[in-house]
Amino acid sequence: MSTPKANLETLPRSVQVCLALGVLALAAFPFVGSDFYTQMVARMMIMGIFAMSLDLLLGVTGLVSLGHAAYFGIAGYALAFLTPQGEPVSLWWTLPVAVLASALAALVIGFFVVRTQGIYFIMVTMAFAQMVFYLFFDNKLLGGSDGLYINFKPEAKLFDLENKQVFYYFTLACLLAVYAFLRRLLWSPFGRALAGIRVNEHRMRAMGFGTFGYKLAAFTLAGALAGLAGYLWGAQSGFMNPELMGFHMSAHAIMMVILGGMGNFAGAVAGAFAFEYLLHLFKDLPAVGGFNIGKHWQLWMGLFIVLVVVFAPRGLLGLAQRLLARKEAHDA
């Protein structure tokens, strides 16, 4: 179940070719797609970064965090606070500051949650994320329930992020950088230790690994990368509200990772694209008679999630992997 193979940590050649084609398609998209869809794909890529950051906990370390949206939101809010009403702010210092803010929050909360395990971990991460949610929701100084506007995209001097295509390619570059970084990390001694913790934490501790430190480091790093996604989301949409750090957002991130397949980061990105596309699809359903199908998108999303968990518990890559296994058996 949790052998490297089951998580598809090493991607088969065929999947790698698909990924390369996917990157080419993403790079070409702004030339063929309309403005609306270019922005939508940019948002999918941002969600891809968010999903990858959670996959570091979920798929690699085996920590089911149900409060990951908190770190996504904190960096976005940091950008909102740092951007003055009437002028843009420099990308080069606000991005690190925002990501650090998320990392710091993840470090502090991680110190409490990483001590717990299993169901406990799920509940505690969720409860702490809710605390962050209420901190922003109840506090007029932090924007309250209405949220905050970000009137200007960050200014980068070298390129113009206000230009939608430039922003798209900047997001794509971030996505690729995060993917490359996490793939590298997965095969580093640190990444191997995290995978070891997923498989058997007791044994890792017996072998002399300080698992608390490793898990806390993974939690902090995942929080920082979620912060990068949140920063980009804030810059793109120009708006932050508490719902973005709420429980639904955290659960969406889990759904993205599961839908695509855990533990190899490519699955998380694929899942994020699939999930965002489905949301778009369900919200766009037409009205039949007096019944507005699209308005009740949550019902279709919920039924879809239940069906996926019941019938395809390991997501799209799980299905692909079953097919691959069948092919292997056939070839042998």
Partner 1 sequence: MDLANFLIQLLNSVQYGLLLFMLAAGLTLIFGIMGVVNLAHGSFYMLGAYLAYSLSGLFGSLTAAVLGGAALAVLFGLALEWLLFRHFYHRDHLDQVLLTFGLIYVFEELRSILWGDDVHSVAVPKALDWSIPLTDTLSYPAYRLFMSAVCLVLALGLYLLISRTRLGMKIRAGAFNRDMAGALGINIKLIHAVVFALGVGLAAVAGMIAAPVSSVYPNMGSQVLIMCFVVVVIGGIGSVRGALISALLVGLVDTFGKVLLPSVASMLVYMLMAAVLLWKPQGLFKA
Interface positions with partner 1 (CB under 8 A): 58, 64, 66, 112-113, 115-116, 118-120, 122-124, 126-128, 130-131, 134-135, 138, 247, 251, 254-255, 258, 296, 298-299, 301-306, 308-310, 313
Q: How far is CA 96 from CA 11, 78, 82, 180, in A?
A: 31, 10, 12, 19
Of 180 and 306, CB closest to partner 1: 306
| Min separation Cβ 181 and partner 1, Å | 25
| Min separation Cβ 302 and partner 1, Å | 3
Q: How far is CA 318 from CA 112, 146, 248, in A?
A: 33, 40, 24
Of 1 and 332, CB closest to partner 1: 1
| Min separation Cβ 91 and partner 1, Å | 32
User: At which residue do the structure tokens 């430039």 appear?
Assistant: 166
| Min separation Cβ 233 and partner 1, Å | 21
Cβ 301 vs Cβ 277: under 8 Å: no
Of 59 and 154, CB closest to partner 1: 59
Of 150 and 305, CB closest to partner 1: 305
Take residue 269 and report the two structure tokens written for it. Answer: 């990105």
User: At which residue do the structure tokens 């992997």 appear?
Assistant: 321
Distance CA 291, CA 8 (A): 43
| Min separation Cβ 25 and partner 1, Å | 29
Going by C-alpha positions, the residue among 261, 213, 278, 235 that lies closest to residue 19 is: 261
Cα 182 → chain centroid: 13
Of 69 and 150, CB closest to partner 1: 69
